[in-house]
Amino acid sequence: MPNSLNVVILAAGRGTRMHSDLPKVLHCLAGRALLDHVLATARALKPARLCVVYGYGGDALPKAVQGNDIVWALQARQLGTGHALQQALPHLDAQGVTLVLYGDVPLTRQDTLQRLLQQAGSDSMAVLTVALSDPTGYGRIVRDTDGRVARIVEQKDASDAEKRINEVNTGIIAAPTARLARWLAGLSNDNAQGEYYLTDTIAMAVAEGMPVATSHPHHEWEVLGVNSKLQLAELERVYQRNYAEKLAGLGATIMDPARLDVRGDLVCGQDVIIDVNCVFEGSVTLGSQVKVGANCVLKNVSVAEGTQIQPFSHIEEAQIGANCRIGPFARIRPGTALASDAHVGNFVEIKNSQIGSGSKVNHLSYVGDATVGSKVNIGAGTITCNYDGANKHRTVIEDEVFIGSDTQLVAPVTVGRGATIGAGSTITRDAPAGELTLSRMKQLTITGWQRPTKKSKR
Ligand code: UD1
Ligand code: MG
Protein backbone atom coordinates (compact mmCIF):
# COMPACT_ATOMS: atom_id res chain seq x y z
CA MET A 1 0.00 0.00 0.00
CA PRO A 2 1.55 3.32 -1.04
CA ASN A 3 2.22 5.92 1.63
CA SER A 4 0.41 9.24 1.65
CA LEU A 5 -2.41 8.17 -0.61
CA ASN A 6 -4.58 10.84 -2.20
CA VAL A 7 -8.06 9.95 -3.35
CA VAL A 8 -9.74 12.35 -5.76
CA ILE A 9 -13.40 11.88 -6.61
CA LEU A 10 -14.50 13.58 -9.83
CA ALA A 11 -18.03 14.84 -9.38
CA ALA A 12 -18.31 18.12 -11.24
CA GLY A 13 -20.42 16.86 -14.13
CA ARG A 14 -24.07 17.69 -14.47
CA GLY A 15 -25.48 14.38 -15.58
CA THR A 16 -27.65 15.77 -18.35
CA ARG A 17 -29.31 12.44 -19.03
CA MET A 18 -30.72 12.30 -15.49
CA HIS A 19 -33.09 15.12 -16.52
CA SER A 20 -32.93 16.53 -13.03
CA ASP A 21 -32.03 19.74 -11.21
CA LEU A 22 -30.20 17.70 -8.61
CA PRO A 23 -26.49 17.17 -9.34
CA LYS A 24 -26.13 13.58 -10.49
CA VAL A 25 -23.99 12.38 -7.59
CA LEU A 26 -26.67 13.46 -5.10
CA HIS A 27 -29.19 11.00 -6.49
CA CYS A 28 -29.72 8.19 -4.04
CA LEU A 29 -28.85 4.54 -4.25
CA ALA A 30 -30.05 2.45 -1.31
CA GLY A 31 -31.10 5.65 0.46
CA ARG A 32 -27.69 7.31 0.26
CA ALA A 33 -26.26 9.75 -2.29
CA LEU A 34 -24.11 8.12 -4.98
CA LEU A 35 -21.25 10.27 -3.76
CA ASP A 36 -21.66 8.91 -0.22
CA HIS A 37 -21.10 5.39 -1.50
CA VAL A 38 -17.90 6.44 -3.24
CA LEU A 39 -16.75 8.38 -0.16
CA ALA A 40 -17.32 5.33 2.03
CA THR A 41 -15.18 3.19 -0.26
CA ALA A 42 -12.53 5.91 -0.43
CA ARG A 43 -12.41 6.27 3.35
CA ALA A 44 -11.92 2.53 3.76
CA LEU A 45 -8.60 2.99 1.94
CA LYS A 46 -7.53 5.41 4.69
CA PRO A 47 -6.22 8.11 2.38
CA ALA A 48 -4.05 10.95 3.68
CA ARG A 49 -6.09 13.36 1.53
CA LEU A 50 -9.64 12.97 0.30
CA CYS A 51 -10.64 15.50 -2.32
CA VAL A 52 -13.92 15.91 -4.19
CA VAL A 53 -14.00 17.96 -7.39
CA TYR A 54 -17.37 19.64 -7.68
CA GLY A 55 -18.89 22.12 -10.11
CA TYR A 56 -22.41 21.67 -11.44
CA GLY A 57 -24.92 22.65 -8.77
CA GLY A 58 -22.37 24.83 -6.97
CA ASP A 59 -22.50 24.57 -3.19
CA ALA A 60 -25.27 21.97 -3.30
CA LEU A 61 -22.67 19.22 -3.06
CA PRO A 62 -20.57 20.49 -0.13
CA LYS A 63 -23.82 21.34 1.66
CA ALA A 64 -25.41 17.96 1.15
CA VAL A 65 -22.43 15.79 1.95
CA GLN A 66 -20.89 15.62 5.40
CA GLY A 67 -17.27 15.13 6.32
CA ASN A 68 -14.52 17.24 7.84
CA ASP A 69 -12.07 14.96 6.10
CA ILE A 70 -13.16 16.13 2.63
CA VAL A 71 -11.32 18.86 0.76
CA TRP A 72 -13.60 20.43 -1.85
CA ALA A 73 -12.06 21.60 -5.11
CA LEU A 74 -14.22 23.73 -7.36
CA GLN A 75 -14.14 23.15 -11.11
CA ALA A 76 -16.21 26.13 -12.21
CA ARG A 77 -16.37 25.01 -15.85
CA GLN A 78 -16.35 21.37 -16.84
CA LEU A 79 -13.50 21.29 -19.32
CA GLY A 80 -12.75 17.59 -19.06
CA THR A 81 -11.54 14.93 -16.66
CA GLY A 82 -7.89 16.08 -16.91
CA HIS A 83 -8.89 19.65 -16.10
CA ALA A 84 -11.04 18.35 -13.22
CA LEU A 85 -8.13 16.49 -11.65
CA GLN A 86 -5.96 19.56 -12.07
CA GLN A 87 -8.29 21.50 -9.78
CA ALA A 88 -7.58 18.98 -7.03
CA LEU A 89 -3.79 19.12 -7.32
CA PRO A 90 -3.14 22.04 -4.94
CA HIS A 91 -4.85 20.03 -2.18
CA LEU A 92 -2.87 16.82 -2.65
CA ASP A 93 0.25 15.42 -1.10
CA ALA A 94 2.77 15.58 -3.95
CA GLN A 95 4.83 12.72 -2.53
CA GLY A 96 2.21 10.03 -2.77
CA VAL A 97 0.06 8.21 -5.24
CA THR A 98 -3.27 9.64 -6.39
CA LEU A 99 -6.25 7.39 -6.97
CA VAL A 100 -8.97 8.85 -9.20
CA LEU A 101 -12.56 7.72 -8.64
CA TYR A 102 -15.81 8.92 -10.20
CA GLY A 103 -18.64 10.19 -8.01
CA ASP A 104 -21.17 8.43 -10.22
CA VAL A 105 -19.63 4.95 -9.99
CA PRO A 106 -20.96 3.79 -6.63
CA LEU A 107 -20.32 0.07 -6.27
CA THR A 108 -16.57 -0.40 -6.69
CA ARG A 109 -15.25 -2.77 -4.05
CA GLN A 110 -12.44 -1.90 -1.75
CA ASP A 111 -10.36 -4.97 -2.58
CA THR A 112 -10.52 -4.11 -6.28
CA LEU A 113 -9.03 -0.69 -5.53
CA GLN A 114 -6.45 -2.19 -3.23
CA ARG A 115 -5.27 -4.51 -5.99
CA LEU A 116 -5.05 -1.53 -8.35
CA LEU A 117 -3.06 0.50 -5.82
CA GLN A 118 -0.57 -2.32 -5.37
CA GLN A 119 0.46 -1.72 -8.98
CA ALA A 120 1.03 2.01 -8.61
CA GLY A 121 4.06 3.65 -7.04
CA SER A 122 6.50 6.49 -7.50
CA ASP A 123 7.49 5.11 -10.89
CA SER A 124 4.48 3.15 -12.06
CA MET A 125 0.83 3.77 -12.74
CA ALA A 126 -2.21 1.52 -13.01
CA VAL A 127 -5.54 1.63 -14.81
CA LEU A 128 -8.62 -0.37 -13.88
CA THR A 129 -9.94 -1.83 -17.12
CA VAL A 130 -12.67 -4.22 -18.10
CA ALA A 131 -13.58 -6.12 -21.27
CA LEU A 132 -17.13 -5.33 -22.36
CA SER A 133 -19.18 -7.13 -24.97
CA ASP A 134 -20.41 -3.70 -26.03
CA PRO A 135 -17.66 -1.12 -25.41
CA THR A 136 -19.49 1.73 -27.17
CA GLY A 137 -18.98 5.09 -25.52
CA TYR A 138 -15.97 4.19 -23.44
CA GLY A 139 -12.31 5.04 -23.88
CA ARG A 140 -10.46 2.05 -25.38
CA ILE A 141 -7.21 0.60 -24.10
CA VAL A 142 -4.76 0.55 -27.01
CA ARG A 143 -1.93 -1.94 -26.50
CA ASP A 144 1.34 -2.32 -28.43
CA THR A 145 2.37 -5.50 -30.24
CA ASP A 146 3.84 -6.83 -26.99
CA GLY A 147 0.52 -6.31 -25.25
CA ARG A 148 1.70 -3.35 -23.17
CA VAL A 149 -0.65 -0.42 -22.67
CA ALA A 150 0.25 2.31 -25.17
CA ARG A 151 -2.52 4.87 -24.73
CA ILE A 152 -6.26 5.35 -24.27
CA VAL A 153 -8.37 6.60 -27.12
CA GLU A 154 -11.82 8.06 -26.50
CA GLN A 155 -14.78 6.73 -28.49
CA LYS A 156 -15.18 9.98 -30.39
CA ASP A 157 -11.51 10.07 -31.41
CA ALA A 158 -11.15 6.37 -32.18
CA SER A 159 -10.52 4.84 -35.61
CA ASP A 160 -12.75 2.00 -36.76
CA ALA A 161 -10.08 -0.50 -35.78
CA GLU A 162 -9.75 1.07 -32.33
CA LYS A 163 -13.52 1.00 -31.89
CA ARG A 164 -13.34 -2.77 -32.18
CA ILE A 165 -11.18 -3.00 -29.03
CA ASN A 166 -13.39 -4.22 -26.24
CA GLU A 167 -11.07 -3.54 -23.30
CA VAL A 168 -12.21 -0.20 -21.89
CA ASN A 169 -11.07 2.40 -19.41
CA THR A 170 -13.25 2.34 -16.30
CA GLY A 171 -11.91 5.83 -15.51
CA ILE A 172 -10.35 4.62 -12.27
CA ILE A 173 -6.60 5.13 -12.30
CA ALA A 174 -3.75 5.37 -9.81
CA ALA A 175 -0.59 7.32 -10.57
CA PRO A 176 2.28 9.10 -8.80
CA THR A 177 1.03 12.57 -7.94
CA ALA A 178 4.11 14.59 -8.87
CA ARG A 179 4.27 13.05 -12.34
CA LEU A 180 0.52 13.48 -12.82
CA ALA A 181 0.85 17.18 -12.03
CA ARG A 182 3.45 17.58 -14.74
CA TRP A 183 1.44 15.62 -17.32
CA LEU A 184 -1.80 17.46 -16.57
CA ALA A 185 -0.05 20.80 -17.08
CA GLY A 186 0.92 19.62 -20.55
CA LEU A 187 -2.52 18.42 -21.70
CA SER A 188 -4.09 19.85 -24.81
CA ASN A 189 -7.77 19.94 -25.71
CA ASP A 190 -7.14 19.34 -29.39
CA ASN A 191 -9.57 16.43 -29.74
CA ALA A 192 -13.08 15.60 -30.88
CA GLN A 193 -14.70 16.94 -27.69
CA GLY A 194 -12.43 19.93 -27.10
CA GLU A 195 -11.76 18.63 -23.59
CA TYR A 196 -8.68 18.11 -21.47
CA TYR A 197 -8.64 14.32 -21.21
CA LEU A 198 -7.17 12.68 -18.15
CA THR A 199 -6.75 9.62 -20.34
CA ASP A 200 -4.06 11.39 -22.39
CA THR A 201 -1.70 11.05 -19.42
CA ILE A 202 -1.36 7.34 -20.18
CA ALA A 203 0.54 7.97 -23.44
CA MET A 204 2.65 10.55 -21.57
CA ALA A 205 3.63 7.97 -18.98
CA VAL A 206 4.51 5.47 -21.68
CA ALA A 207 6.62 8.10 -23.48
CA GLU A 208 8.61 8.57 -20.26
CA GLY A 209 9.17 4.83 -20.01
CA MET A 210 6.82 4.38 -17.09
CA PRO A 211 5.07 1.00 -16.98
CA VAL A 212 1.28 1.24 -17.09
CA ALA A 213 -0.27 -1.77 -15.41
CA THR A 214 -3.90 -2.83 -15.65
CA SER A 215 -6.08 -4.70 -13.22
CA HIS A 216 -9.70 -5.73 -13.38
CA PRO A 217 -12.71 -5.80 -11.09
CA HIS A 218 -14.22 -9.17 -10.09
CA HIS A 219 -17.63 -8.03 -11.24
CA GLU A 220 -18.65 -5.75 -14.08
CA TRP A 221 -21.14 -3.86 -11.88
CA GLU A 222 -18.26 -2.55 -9.79
CA VAL A 223 -17.32 -0.16 -12.57
CA LEU A 224 -20.73 0.72 -13.95
CA GLY A 225 -21.60 4.39 -13.76
CA VAL A 226 -24.95 6.09 -13.46
CA ASN A 227 -25.94 8.24 -16.42
CA SER A 228 -29.71 7.83 -16.38
CA LYS A 229 -32.53 7.04 -13.98
CA LEU A 230 -32.77 3.58 -15.50
CA GLN A 231 -29.10 2.85 -14.86
CA LEU A 232 -29.59 4.11 -11.31
CA ALA A 233 -32.44 1.65 -10.84
CA GLU A 234 -30.36 -1.17 -12.31
CA LEU A 235 -27.47 -0.51 -9.94
CA GLU A 236 -29.96 -0.29 -7.08
CA ARG A 237 -31.03 -3.86 -7.89
CA VAL A 238 -27.39 -4.99 -7.95
CA TYR A 239 -26.82 -3.40 -4.55
CA GLN A 240 -29.96 -4.96 -3.08
CA ARG A 241 -29.19 -8.37 -4.51
CA ASN A 242 -25.72 -8.21 -2.94
CA TYR A 243 -27.25 -7.19 0.38
CA ALA A 244 -29.76 -10.02 0.26
CA GLU A 245 -26.96 -12.48 -0.49
CA LYS A 246 -24.99 -11.18 2.46
CA LEU A 247 -27.96 -11.58 4.84
CA ALA A 248 -28.78 -15.03 3.51
CA GLY A 249 -25.12 -15.99 3.87
CA LEU A 250 -25.38 -15.09 7.55
CA GLY A 251 -28.46 -17.26 8.01
CA ALA A 252 -31.48 -15.05 7.38
CA THR A 253 -34.28 -16.47 5.25
CA ILE A 254 -35.03 -13.93 2.54
CA MET A 255 -38.12 -15.22 0.77
CA ASP A 256 -37.14 -13.53 -2.49
CA PRO A 257 -33.72 -11.83 -2.77
CA ALA A 258 -35.08 -9.84 -5.72
CA ARG A 259 -37.77 -8.30 -3.53
CA LEU A 260 -35.83 -6.89 -0.60
CA ASP A 261 -34.81 -3.26 -0.10
CA VAL A 262 -32.35 -2.21 2.55
CA ARG A 263 -31.69 1.52 2.64
CA GLY A 264 -29.29 1.61 5.53
CA ASP A 265 -28.10 -1.18 7.80
CA LEU A 266 -30.07 -4.29 8.60
CA VAL A 267 -28.77 -6.66 11.24
CA CYS A 268 -30.51 -10.03 11.60
CA GLY A 269 -30.28 -12.59 14.38
CA GLN A 270 -30.53 -16.28 13.73
CA ASP A 271 -33.52 -17.74 11.90
CA VAL A 272 -35.01 -14.43 10.90
CA ILE A 273 -37.55 -14.73 8.11
CA ILE A 274 -38.28 -11.79 5.82
CA ASP A 275 -41.15 -12.15 3.39
CA VAL A 276 -41.33 -10.29 0.08
CA ASN A 277 -41.42 -6.54 -0.59
CA CYS A 278 -40.16 -5.29 2.73
CA VAL A 279 -38.25 -2.01 3.00
CA PHE A 280 -35.73 -1.42 5.78
CA GLU A 281 -34.49 2.12 6.28
CA GLY A 282 -31.85 3.59 8.55
CA SER A 283 -30.67 1.24 11.25
CA VAL A 284 -32.83 -1.84 11.80
CA THR A 285 -32.07 -4.76 14.08
CA LEU A 286 -34.13 -7.95 14.04
CA GLY A 287 -33.58 -10.39 16.89
CA SER A 288 -33.47 -14.13 16.37
CA GLN A 289 -36.68 -15.86 15.21
CA VAL A 290 -38.24 -12.57 14.18
CA LYS A 291 -40.59 -12.89 11.25
CA VAL A 292 -41.44 -9.92 9.07
CA GLY A 293 -44.46 -10.45 6.83
CA ALA A 294 -44.84 -9.21 3.29
CA ASN A 295 -44.92 -5.50 2.45
CA CYS A 296 -43.68 -4.08 5.74
CA VAL A 297 -41.67 -0.87 6.10
CA LEU A 298 -39.34 -0.57 9.09
CA LYS A 299 -37.23 2.52 9.75
CA ASN A 300 -34.78 2.86 12.64
CA VAL A 301 -36.36 0.06 14.60
CA SER A 302 -35.09 -2.64 16.89
CA VAL A 303 -37.16 -5.78 17.24
CA ALA A 304 -36.37 -8.31 19.96
CA GLU A 305 -36.41 -12.07 19.46
CA GLY A 306 -39.49 -14.04 18.51
CA THR A 307 -41.65 -11.11 17.47
CA GLN A 308 -43.94 -11.53 14.48
CA ILE A 309 -44.72 -8.57 12.30
CA GLN A 310 -47.57 -9.39 9.99
CA PRO A 311 -48.02 -7.98 6.49
CA PHE A 312 -48.44 -4.31 5.61
CA SER A 313 -47.15 -2.91 8.88
CA HIS A 314 -45.26 0.38 9.08
CA ILE A 315 -42.93 0.89 12.02
CA GLU A 316 -40.71 3.91 12.53
CA GLU A 317 -38.29 4.98 15.30
CA ALA A 318 -39.55 2.37 17.73
CA GLN A 319 -38.35 -0.34 20.03
CA ILE A 320 -40.25 -3.59 19.87
CA GLY A 321 -39.86 -6.15 22.64
CA ALA A 322 -39.67 -9.92 22.42
CA ASN A 323 -42.51 -12.16 21.28
CA CYS A 324 -44.79 -9.31 20.28
CA ARG A 325 -47.41 -9.66 17.58
CA ILE A 326 -47.91 -6.71 15.31
CA GLY A 327 -50.26 -6.18 12.39
CA PRO A 328 -51.41 -6.86 9.82
CA PHE A 329 -51.89 -3.18 8.90
CA ALA A 330 -50.40 -1.69 12.05
CA ARG A 331 -48.72 1.68 12.20
CA ILE A 332 -46.19 2.33 14.91
CA ARG A 333 -44.78 5.83 14.98
CA PRO A 334 -41.71 7.46 16.54
CA GLY A 335 -41.13 7.26 20.25
CA THR A 336 -43.00 4.02 20.79
CA ALA A 337 -41.72 1.17 22.90
CA LEU A 338 -43.54 -2.14 23.16
CA ALA A 339 -42.56 -4.41 26.04
CA SER A 340 -42.50 -8.16 25.48
CA ASP A 341 -45.62 -10.09 24.49
CA ALA A 342 -47.54 -6.98 23.49
CA HIS A 343 -50.09 -7.29 20.70
CA VAL A 344 -50.86 -4.48 18.27
CA GLY A 345 -53.45 -5.46 15.72
CA ASN A 346 -54.98 -4.23 12.51
CA PHE A 347 -55.61 -0.55 11.86
CA VAL A 348 -54.01 0.48 15.11
CA GLU A 349 -51.80 3.57 15.27
CA ILE A 350 -49.45 4.03 18.18
CA LYS A 351 -47.35 7.15 18.65
CA ASN A 352 -44.86 8.18 21.33
CA SER A 353 -46.24 5.63 23.79
CA GLN A 354 -45.01 2.87 26.02
CA ILE A 355 -47.03 -0.32 25.99
CA GLY A 356 -46.35 -2.70 28.89
CA SER A 357 -45.76 -6.41 28.59
CA GLY A 358 -48.67 -8.62 27.65
CA SER A 359 -50.90 -5.65 26.79
CA LYS A 360 -53.16 -5.74 23.76
CA VAL A 361 -54.41 -3.09 21.39
CA ASN A 362 -55.89 -5.32 18.81
CA HIS A 363 -58.27 -3.37 16.61
CA LEU A 364 -58.82 0.07 15.11
CA SER A 365 -57.38 2.29 17.81
CA TYR A 366 -55.23 5.40 18.22
CA VAL A 367 -52.88 5.43 21.16
CA GLY A 368 -50.78 8.60 21.26
CA ASP A 369 -48.65 10.09 24.05
CA ALA A 370 -49.74 7.31 26.39
CA THR A 371 -48.12 5.24 29.09
CA VAL A 372 -49.82 1.87 29.15
CA GLY A 373 -49.00 -0.64 31.88
CA SER A 374 -48.80 -4.39 31.58
CA LYS A 375 -51.67 -6.81 30.89
CA VAL A 376 -53.90 -4.00 29.74
CA ASN A 377 -56.64 -4.69 27.21
CA ILE A 378 -57.61 -1.79 25.01
CA GLY A 379 -60.86 -2.48 23.18
CA ALA A 380 -61.59 -1.84 19.53
CA GLY A 381 -61.99 1.76 18.47
CA THR A 382 -60.36 3.31 21.52
CA ILE A 383 -58.91 6.76 20.99
CA THR A 384 -56.58 8.78 23.16
CA CYS A 385 -57.59 12.39 22.58
CA ASN A 386 -54.07 13.68 23.16
CA TYR A 387 -54.31 17.02 21.39
CA ASP A 388 -56.46 19.94 22.48
CA GLY A 389 -55.71 21.94 19.37
CA ALA A 390 -52.73 23.66 20.96
CA ASN A 391 -50.89 21.20 23.18
CA LYS A 392 -50.37 17.47 23.54
CA HIS A 393 -51.24 15.73 26.80
CA ARG A 394 -50.49 12.30 28.20
CA THR A 395 -52.80 9.45 28.98
CA VAL A 396 -51.76 7.02 31.69
CA ILE A 397 -53.32 3.58 31.77
CA GLU A 398 -52.08 1.51 34.69
CA ASP A 399 -51.56 -2.27 34.84
CA GLU A 400 -54.41 -4.70 34.22
CA VAL A 401 -56.86 -2.05 33.06
CA PHE A 402 -59.66 -3.07 30.71
CA ILE A 403 -60.84 -0.36 28.34
CA GLY A 404 -64.19 -1.12 26.69
CA SER A 405 -64.59 -0.62 22.98
CA ASP A 406 -65.13 2.79 21.42
CA THR A 407 -63.77 4.73 24.37
CA GLN A 408 -62.30 8.21 24.15
CA LEU A 409 -59.71 9.06 26.76
CA VAL A 410 -59.43 12.85 26.88
CA ALA A 411 -55.90 13.63 28.06
CA PRO A 412 -54.48 14.48 30.47
CA VAL A 413 -56.16 11.56 32.19
CA THR A 414 -55.20 8.54 34.27
CA VAL A 415 -56.98 5.21 34.47
CA GLY A 416 -56.02 3.55 37.77
CA ARG A 417 -54.69 0.04 38.11
CA GLY A 418 -57.22 -2.69 37.48
CA ALA A 419 -59.96 -0.24 36.48
CA THR A 420 -62.60 -1.14 33.91
CA ILE A 421 -63.99 1.45 31.50
CA GLY A 422 -67.40 0.72 30.05
CA ALA A 423 -67.70 0.59 26.30
CA GLY A 424 -68.56 3.81 24.50
CA SER A 425 -67.31 6.08 27.29
CA THR A 426 -65.77 9.50 27.01
CA ILE A 427 -63.40 9.70 29.94
CA THR A 428 -62.48 13.25 30.87
CA ARG A 429 -61.54 12.76 34.52
CA ASP A 430 -59.25 10.22 36.20
CA ALA A 431 -60.83 6.82 36.63
CA PRO A 432 -60.15 5.23 40.03
CA ALA A 433 -58.27 1.96 40.38
CA GLY A 434 -60.25 -1.26 40.62
CA GLU A 435 -63.63 0.32 39.80
CA LEU A 436 -65.94 0.34 36.80
CA THR A 437 -66.20 3.79 35.30
CA LEU A 438 -68.41 4.65 32.40
CA SER A 439 -69.93 7.74 30.84
CA ARG A 440 -72.81 6.75 28.76
CA MET A 441 -76.42 7.79 28.31
CA LYS A 442 -78.72 5.32 30.01
CA GLN A 443 -80.35 3.04 27.49
CA LEU A 444 -84.02 3.71 26.98
CA THR A 445 -86.73 2.24 24.86
CA ILE A 446 -89.64 4.19 23.38
CA THR A 447 -92.32 1.63 23.07
CA GLY A 448 -94.70 1.84 20.14
CA TRP A 449 -92.45 4.19 18.18
CA GLN A 450 -93.01 3.92 14.39
CA ARG A 451 -90.48 4.35 11.63
CA PRO A 452 -91.39 7.09 9.18
CA THR A 453 -92.74 5.76 5.91
CA LYS A 454 -92.08 7.17 2.46
CA LYS A 455 -94.72 9.57 1.19
CA SER A 456 -95.98 8.65 -2.26
CA LYS A 457 -95.40 11.44 -4.88
CA ARG A 458 -98.38 12.50 -6.89
C1 UD1 B 1 -14.53 8.95 -19.19
C2 UD1 B 1 -13.17 8.56 -19.76
C3 UD1 B 1 -13.32 7.30 -20.58
C4 UD1 B 1 -13.91 6.19 -19.74
C5 UD1 B 1 -15.22 6.64 -19.13
C6 UD1 B 1 -15.69 5.63 -18.12
C7 UD1 B 1 -11.91 10.60 -20.13
C8 UD1 B 1 -11.51 11.61 -21.13
N9 UD1 B 1 -12.68 9.63 -20.58
O10 UD1 B 1 -15.34 9.29 -20.28
O11 UD1 B 1 -12.05 6.88 -21.06
O12 UD1 B 1 -14.11 5.04 -20.53
O13 UD1 B 1 -15.06 7.89 -18.42
O14 UD1 B 1 -16.95 5.96 -17.67
O15 UD1 B 1 -11.51 10.68 -19.01
N16 UD1 B 1 -16.05 15.14 -14.73
C17 UD1 B 1 -15.72 16.27 -14.05
N18 UD1 B 1 -15.36 17.38 -14.73
C19 UD1 B 1 -15.31 17.41 -16.09
C20 UD1 B 1 -15.65 16.23 -16.79
C21 UD1 B 1 -16.01 15.12 -16.09
O22 UD1 B 1 -15.74 16.31 -12.82
O23 UD1 B 1 -14.95 18.46 -16.64
C24 UD1 B 1 -16.45 13.95 -13.97
C25 UD1 B 1 -17.89 13.58 -14.22
O26 UD1 B 1 -18.73 14.16 -13.25
C27 UD1 B 1 -17.86 12.07 -14.09
C28 UD1 B 1 -16.45 11.70 -14.53
O29 UD1 B 1 -15.68 12.87 -14.42
O30 UD1 B 1 -18.01 11.64 -12.75
C31 UD1 B 1 -16.41 11.17 -15.95
O32 UD1 B 1 -16.91 12.13 -16.83
P33 UD1 B 1 -17.72 11.72 -18.12
O34 UD1 B 1 -18.12 12.96 -18.80
O35 UD1 B 1 -18.76 10.74 -17.77
O36 UD1 B 1 -16.56 11.02 -18.97
P37 UD1 B 1 -16.76 10.06 -20.19
O38 UD1 B 1 -16.86 10.87 -21.42
O39 UD1 B 1 -17.80 9.07 -19.91
MG1 MG C 1 -19.33 8.84 -18.44
pLDDT tens by residue, 270-308 = 999 999 999 999 999 999 999 999 999 999 999 999 999
For residue 379, pLDDT beyond 50: yes
C-beta 138 within 6 A of ligand 1? yes
Nearest CA residue ID for atom 22, ligand 1: 12
pLDDT(109) > 80? yes
**From the alpha carbon of 103, which atom of ligand 1 is closest?**
30
Whole-angstrom Cα distance, residue 146 to residue 24?
40
At 241, the pLDDT band (50, 70, 90 cuts) reads very high
For residue 66, the SS3 value is: coil
- Phi, psi angle pair for 317, to nearest 5°: 45, 60
Number of the ligand 1 atom closest to the C-alpha atom of 225: 14
Atom of ligand 1 nearest to the CA of 83: 23
Q: What does R_g of the chain's alpha carbons equal in angstroms?
A: 31
Q: Is 430 helix (H, G, I), strand (E, B) or coil?
A: coil
53-74 average pLDDT score: 95
pLDDT the model gives residue 27 = 97
- Which residue has the CA at smallest separation from atom 13 of ligand 1? 171
Q: How far is the CA of 225 from the centre of ligand 2 (A)?
A: 7
Burial (CB count <10 Å: 0-12, 13-18, 19+), residue 43: middle
Q: What pLDDT does residue 249 have?
A: 96
pLDDT surpasses 70 at 446: yes
Q: Write down the pLDDT at residue 14.
A: 82
Contact call for residues 188 and 135 (beta carbons, < 8 A): no
Task: Give catalytic residues, as residue numbers.
Answer: 363
Mean pLDDT to the nearest integer, 5-16: 94
CB atoms within 10 A of CB 145: 6
Distance 58 CA to ligand 2 centre (A): 20
Q: What is the mean pLDDT of residues 170-183?
A: 98
Q: Which of 7, 81, 226 to mutate to test the pocket of ligand 1 (most atoms within 8 A of CB)?
A: 81
182-198: pLDDT as tens digits: 999 999 999 999 999 99
Residue 153 binned pLDDT confidence (cut-offs 50, 70, 90): very high
What span, in angstroms and rounded, lies between the C-alpha atoms of 373 and 399? 4
Distance (Å) from CA 199 to ligand 1 centroid: 9
Q: Does domain 246-437 have CATH number 2.60.40.10?
A: no
pLDDT on residue 237: 98
Q: Report the pLDDT averaged over residues 342-357.
A: 98
Q: What average pLDDT does the segment 4-23 reach?
A: 93
Angle separating helix axes 110-117 and 34-44, nearest 10 degrees: 50
For 5-223, CATH gives: 3.90.550.10
Measured from the CA of 197, which atom of ligand 1 is nearest? Answer: 8
Q: What is the average pLDDT across 126-143?
A: 97
Q: What integer is the mean pLDDT of 171-176?
A: 98
Cis peptide before 2 (omega within 30 of 0): no
Q: Which ligand is nearest to the CA of 102?
A: 1
Over residues 307-313, mean pLDDT: 98
Q: Where in the chain is the domain with CATH 2.160.10.10?
A: 246-437
pLDDT above 70: percentage of residues in the chain: 99
Query: What's the 427 CA to ligand 1 centre distance in angstroms?
Result: 67
| Predicted confidence band of residue 2 (pLDDT cuts 50, 70, 90) | very low
Confidence at residue 66, expressed as pLDDT on a 0 to 100 scale: 86
Is 69 a residue whose pLDDT tops 70? yes
| Rounded Cα gap, residues 393 and 173, in angstroms | 60
Q: Exposed (0-12), middle (13-18) or buried (19+): which is 321, by Cβ within 10 Å?
A: buried
Three-state helix/strand/coil letters over 308-340? EECCCCEEEEEEECCCCEECCCEEECCCEEECC
Residue 458 confidence (pLDDT):
75
Residue 3, pLDDT > 70, answer no
pTM: 0.94
Q: What is the DSSP-derived secondary structure letter of residue 45?
A: T
Q: What percent of the chain has pLDDT over 90?
A: 96
Instruction: Considering the chain, tell me which residue range(s) the CATH 3.90.550.10 domain(s) occupy.
Output: 5-223
